[in-house]
Amino acid sequence: MARLTLVSMLFLWAGSMLMVQGGDPTLFFEWNVTYGTIAPLGVPVKGILINGQFPGPNINSTTNNNIVVNVFNNLDEPFLVTWNGVQHRKNSWQDGVLGTNCPIPPGKNYTYKFQNDYDSLDVHVGQCFSVLVTANQEPRDYYVVASTRFTRREVTATGIIRYKNGKGAASSELPPPPVGWAWSLNQFRTFRWNLTSNAARPNPQGSYKYGSINITRTIKLANTAQKVDGKLRYALNGVSYVEPTTPLKLAEYYGVADKVFKYDTIPDEPQSDNTKVTLAPIVLNMTHRNFVEIIFENHESAIQSYHLSGYSFFAVGMDVGKWSPEKRMNYNLLDAVSRHTIQVFPNSWSAILLTFDNCGMWNLRSEIWDRHYLGQQLYASVISPNRSLKDEYNLPEGVLTCGIVQGMPRPPPFSS
C-alpha cells in the first residue's frame, strides 16, 4: 500500500453538538493540498501545505454551523484529514482515519460534511483547553509562555497580552516552569468543573451525574514496546494494530467484517506476560449505551497520551503504580472534567468513564505519533440494534470505496 499522509486538525469551538437543522448556516471551504518548503524548527524542509499555508487555514465558525470542506489532494501520495476534538455525533463517516475512510488518492478530491461541535495548565499531547484570564494586573504588556515538558529538549514560545492603553513592556525574565511530573499529577486532581456556577457544562452521557451510573464493562489497556521480526512495534495488551486494506467501518457496513477483522482480539485485561506482541487489527465490540470504565496502565518510563474520537469522557482517576479495584475509592465521581484526551504518567495509571452512545467506528490512539503509527491504537465499534437514523447516519453519497468493498452494491439505507 502506498504511503499515507494523515493530517490531524485541532479545532477549538464553543458549544455542543445538536441535530443538524435546515436553518443552520452552512460554511463552505476549498482546500488545496500541495508540497512546499517549511521551517517549523528553523531548518527548511519539504512539508505539506493547505492553500499554500503552514499551519493550514482556520475554520472560524459558531455552534451548529454546518461545515463543508472540499479537499483536493495534489500530492503524489494518498491523503486524509482527521478532526481532533470534533465528536461527529452519529457520523464516524467523517472522522478521516483509515479505520473509517479510504484515503483521497493523488489528483482526486473528497468533501467532508459535518456540524460544528465541541467545548472542550498543563496541556498534554492532543489536548485542548479554553481558559478565562482575569485582567486585574497593572495595565502593561505581559508574556504568555508555552514550553515543552517531559522532553529532553526544551522549546519555548511566547506571546503578548497587551492591556488597552497600557504602559510598559513585558518583563524580560520569563517565569520558570514547574519541575517534575508530580506537579502535573497534582494539577489533574485539582482541575474540576465548578458545579456552583450558572455556566453551561457538557452533558455528553445523557446525565451529568455519571458517578451514580453502574459500570457494565471494565477494560484495562497496558502499552508495551517490542520488536516483531526485527522491527519495533508498540502494542496494547500484547497486540500491535495493523491497518487492513479495507477500512473497518466500510467492511462492517457492507457486511463483510469477518473477511477483514475479528472483534475483541485483545482481552479486557492484559496478560501477565505481556512481552510477546502479535500483529492484527484491533476492534472492540462495544454494546450500544453501555457505561464503560477504561484504565490505561503505563509500565514504561515515558509519558503516554491517548485520544478517543467521537466522545468526551470523564477523567476520574490517576495515580502512580498499578491499578486495582480498590483505586475506585479515590475516583472523582462528582465534578471530573469532560475531555477527549488523557495523559498517563510513567509507571502510572489513568481511568476514564463514558457511555458508548455514539454509534460508529471510533479510533482510540496514542497521540504520540510514532507510537500511533507503529501500532499503539485500536477501534471501538458501536452499533445500534435498531439500525436507525436516530442512532447513526447513512453512508454518505460520494463516499470513497476501496479494498474488498470497491464495486460492491451499496447496502440499503436506514429508513427511519
DSSP single-letter state for residue 248: H
Does residue 86 surpass a pLDDT of 60? Answer: yes
Return the C-alpha cell found at 151: 522532553
**pLDDT number for residue 110:** 92
Does residue 118 surpass a pLDDT of 80? Answer: no
**pLDDT number for residue 399:** 92
- Annotated domain spans of the chain: 5-115, 210-405
> Tell me: the pLDDT tens digits for 238-253?
999 999 999 999 999 9
Given a contact cutoff of 8 angstroms between Cβ atoms, the answer to whether 328 and 215 are in contact is no
**pLDDT number for residue 211:** 87
Which amino acid is residue 305, in one-letter code? S
Does residue 145 surpass a pLDDT of 50? Answer: yes
User: Strand, coil or helix: what is 181?
Assistant: helix
User: Strand, coil or helix: what is 257?
Assistant: helix
Please enumerate in sequence order all residues whose Cβ is within 8 A of that of 80, keeping only pairs 6 or more positions apart, or say none: 4, 5, 6, 7, 96, 97, 98, 101, 103, 104
Identify which has the larger pLDDT, 234 or 147: 234
**pLDDT number for residue 119:** 32
**pLDDT number for residue 389:** 86
CA-to-CA separations, 234 to 237, 238, 368, 374, in angstroms, rounded: 10, 9, 11, 6
CA-to-CA separations, 9 to 42, 50, 118, 227, 333, in angstroms, rounded: 22, 11, 14, 31, 31
Q: What is the mean pLDDT of residues 406-410?
A: 95
Among candidate residues 281, 310, 287, the one with its CA nearest the CA of residue 219? 287
Model confidence at 17, in pLDDT bands (50, 70, 90)? very low
CA-to-CA separations, 11 to 43, 82, 101, 309, 363, in angstroms, rounded: 27, 11, 20, 13, 18
DSSP single-letter state for residue 328: G
> Tell me: the pLDDT tens digits for 307-354?
999 998 999 999 999 999 999 999 999 888 888 899 999 999 999 999
Residue with cell 504511503: 3
- Does 210-405 match 5-115 at the fold level? yes
Given a contact cutoff of 8 angstroms between Cβ atoms, the answer to whether 272 and 262 are in contact is no
Please report the sign of the dihedral spanned by the C-alpha atoms of residue 367, residue 368, residue 369, residue 371.
negative
Report the alpha-carbon distance of residue 75 to residue 393 in Å, rounded.
Answer: 31
**pLDDT number for residue 387:** 82
Among candidate residues 213, 354, 322, 226, the one with its CA nearest the CA of residue 279? 226
**pLDDT number for residue 190:** 58
Residue 232 β-bridge partners: 227
**pLDDT number for residue 231:** 96
Residue 239 β-bridge partners: 236, 278
Residue with cell 455556566: 199
Does residue 58 surpass a pLDDT of 60? Answer: yes
Q: What is the mean pLDDT of residues 200-218?
A: 71
Q: How many CB atoms lie within 10 A of CB 168?
A: 11
Does residue 138 surpass a pLDDT of 90? Answer: no
pLDDT, mean over the chain: 83
Identify which has the larger pLDDT, 148 or 395: 395
Report the alpha-carbon distance of residue 371 to residue 106 in Å, rounded.
Answer: 26
Which fold is adopted by the domain 210-405? Immunoglobulin-like (2.60.40)
Which architecture, in CATH terms, is 5-115? Sandwich (2.60)
Q: For 101, how many CA atoms within 13 A lie in the half-sphere containing its CB?
A: 25
Given a contact cutoff of 8 angstroms between Cβ atoms, the answer to whether 365 and 377 are in contact is yes
Does residue 294 surpass a pLDDT of 70? Answer: yes
Q: What is the mean pLDDT of residues 252-267?
A: 97
Return the C-alpha cell found at 112: 467532508
Q: What is the mean pLDDT of residues 253-264?
A: 97
Q: Is 52 left (phi over 0), alpha (psi -120 to 50) or beta?
A: left
Residues in the chain: 416
**pLDDT number for residue 133:** 64
- Nearest 5°: the CA angle 250, 49, 365 is 40
Model confidence at 163, in pLDDT bands (50, 70, 90)? confident
Report the alpha-carbon distance of residue 289 to residue 309 in Å, rounded.
Answer: 16
Q: What is the mean pLDDT of residues 199-228?
A: 79
pTM to 2 decimals? Answer: 0.74
**pLDDT number for residue 16:** 30
**pLDDT number for residue 325:** 96
Identify which has the larger pLDDT, 94 or 150: 94
Identify which has the larger pLDDT, 15 or 247: 247
Report the alpha-carbon distance of residue 30 to residue 99 in Å, rounded.
Answer: 24
Share above pLDDT 90 across residues of the chain, in percent, rounded to a whole number: 51
Model confidence at 14, in pLDDT bands (50, 70, 90)? very low
Least confident of 59-73, 208-222, 272-286: 59-73
DSSP string computed for 10-25: E----S------TTS-
> Tell me: the pLDDT tens digits for 34-47?
999 999 888 899 99
DSSP single-letter state for residue 238: T
Identify which has the larger pLDDT, 67 or 284: 284
**pLDDT number for residue 191:** 58
